Structure 1
Amino acid sequence: MLKKLKLVPVLFAFLSPECALPPVEVYRATSGPYRFTLHNGFHRFYGSVAAGYTHLPVLIREPFDL
């Protein structure tokens, strides 16, 4: 569930010229229809979709990096 109090600062950070948000963490999916699963960065991901971005910096983790 997205929380407004967490999403609004992310949206403002997108507008900042010195925006330094960390990359979204994803894991390589071991099964299913998607190549990756979102691990950390839900608000950054959904905020970027809402802002109209087509790309997002990510940090790819392997499933055994837990």
Structure 2
Amino acid sequence: MNEDILKGKFKQLSGRIKAKWGELTDDDLKLLEGKRDVLVGKLQEKYGLTKEKAEQQIKEMEDA
């Protein structure tokens, strides 16, 4: 999913993102708005995920 599509769906996804990854703050979400690579980095930082695992979990959420 490219950055433009993610930006368009971000409002829909933000609730699911907070539900799944509760350690992400509102400030984190503002920083990530539409930036998949930043979301991947935040998941790695806060949850100790590998880049591949973070990307896989984001894809699963997008496909849900």
With the length of structure 1 as denominator, give the TM-score of the two structures.
0.28
Higher-Rg member (1/2) = 1
Higher fraction of strand: 1
With the length of structure 2 as denominator, give the TM-score of the two structures.
0.29
Higher fraction of helix: 2
